[in-house]
Structure 1
């Protein structure tokens, strides 16, 4: 479901559902620039009476990038398993080497996973 679909399903405004997602109250996944929802998870949320579920909330770093902390591990968007400090280091290296951050991240993931 899209954000608008989820808002219609819950009978709230798009702004309200977006705020619930950002607060970690309603489970969702960001696909590209769009939020996606599973109807089954929205039903589970309603069955709990709107109590907070155990989903991590998404925060914004100094550069405007998104990150979350889950089980003590920091993840940057696309939910890569490295911290904001490591992200900043990759950006710095990309600039120094005249390459893309994507290329450096791909190398990092190949070496560590």
Structure 2
């Protein structure tokens, strides 16, 4: 069975962050996301692998998302 596509709200809940942080990570850190029409969709396996590779790490001291998630 195919993995379901999740919304920005769903992936934010999965990661324990805000939806604003999700959008910031797409733009600033290359979080894996797929734009379908106007909506961003996510697969948990892709996002979890990205997090494991330290994609969400705070390596940039100017990161505007720090402390918001």
Q: TM-score range by the shorter chain?
A: 0.5 to 0.7
Contact 2:29 2:55 in 1 (8 A): no
Count matched residues: 52
Q: After the TM superposition, which segments of 4 or more aligned residues of structure 1 sit over 6 Å from their partners?
A: none
Q: TM-score, normalised by structure 2?
A: 0.66
Report matched runs for 1:15-30 at 5 Å.
15-30=20-35
Q: Which protein is richer in strand relative to its size?
A: 1
Change (3 A) 1:16 1:25: same
Q: TM-score, normalised by structure 1?
A: 0.42
- Note the aligned Cα RMSD (angstroms): 1.7
| Aligned with 2:12 (options 7, 15, 25) | 7
Larger radius of gyration, structure 1 or 2?
1
Q: Which protein is richer in helix relative to its size?
A: 1
Larger RCO (CA under 8 A, 6+ residues apart): 2
